[in-house]
């Protein structure tokens, strides 16, 4: 029995989504920049025409159980994000930069990040998906993923891609493969992080 609903992402859900992000991505760079930074990041999806964002909410009490976010035009989305929100991002990350000044360069690089895209033109990027630990095992992640893929398909995207860690991440990699994503290749980021790139064809005849 499905006891949750998938709904379009709304402003009132940002705080909880940030909390879930922090729990799901402990030790990750964006998480280390603090909840203020993440609030600016997730707020940027609202009102952006190329963005696709959904939340899973409990059918009984409306509590947010997880979220999924991405964009149909990664290069343009993150370019506009860096240009329009650089001051807000900088202010939100000020505390983290003060503690570790060296992360400033990585922050600038992060604001221009677009998911290390594949060679295929026009592919949408699934940027983030996270589910509350208390809600895992209820099919929330799959439902969020399916909703996002269908939205990208409805927007006539020929395909989609995402990246995730290669090392110590077996459950997540298996999750994507079980849900129809194909491992296209692996690469190493400039920080030395080993990543897998997955793709999914959404339109007949697309490569």
Beta 124-131 vs 159-165: how paired, if at all? Answer: parallel
Report domain extents, the chain.
Answer: 4-201
Q: What is the pLDDT of residues 88-128, one digit of tens each?
A: 555 544 554 445 545 444 555 555 555 577 888 899 999 99
Nearest-CA neighbor of 20 among 174, 127, 136?
A: 136
Domain spanning 4-201, CATH class? alpha beta
| 144-151, long-range: CB < 8 A, 24+ apart | 144/6, 144/54, 144/56, 144/66, 144/67, 144/68, 145/68, 145/179, 146/179, 147/6, 147/54, 147/68, 148/52, 148/54, 148/68, 148/70, 149/180, 149/200, 149/202, 151/52, 151/54
The residue ranges of the chain whose pLDDT is under 70 are: 1, 29, 78, 81-115, 204-207
**Residue 29, pLDDT score:** 66
Whole-prediction pTM? 0.84
Nearest-CA neighbor of 42 among 63, 65, 13?
A: 13
């Amino acid at each position: 029995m499905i006891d949750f609903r998938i709904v379009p992402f709304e402003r009132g859900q940002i705080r909880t989504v940030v909390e879930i992000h922090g729990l799901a991505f402990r030790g990750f760079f964006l998480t280390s920049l603090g909840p203020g930074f993440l609030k600016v990041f997730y707020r940027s999806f609202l009102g952006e025409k190329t963005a696709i964002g959904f939340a899973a909410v409990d059918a009984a009490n409306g509590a947010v159980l997880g979220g999924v976010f991405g964009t149909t035009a990664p290069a343009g989305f993150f370019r506009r994000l860096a240009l329009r929100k650089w001051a807000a991002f900088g202010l939100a990350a000020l505390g983290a930069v003060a503690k570790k000044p060296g992360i400033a360069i990585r922050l600038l690089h992060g604001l221009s990040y677009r998911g290390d895209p594949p060679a295929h033109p026009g592919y949408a990027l699934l940027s983030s998906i996270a589910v509350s630990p208390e809600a895992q095992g209820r099919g929330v992640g799959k439902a969020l993923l399916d909703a996002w893929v269908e939205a990208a398909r409805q927007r006539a995207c020929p395909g989609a891609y995402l990246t995730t860690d290669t090392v110590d991440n077996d459950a997540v990699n298996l999750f994507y493969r079980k849900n129809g994503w194909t491992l296209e290749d692996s690469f190493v980021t400039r920080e030395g992080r080993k990543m897998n790139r997955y793709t999914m064809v959404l339109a007949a005849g697309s490569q």
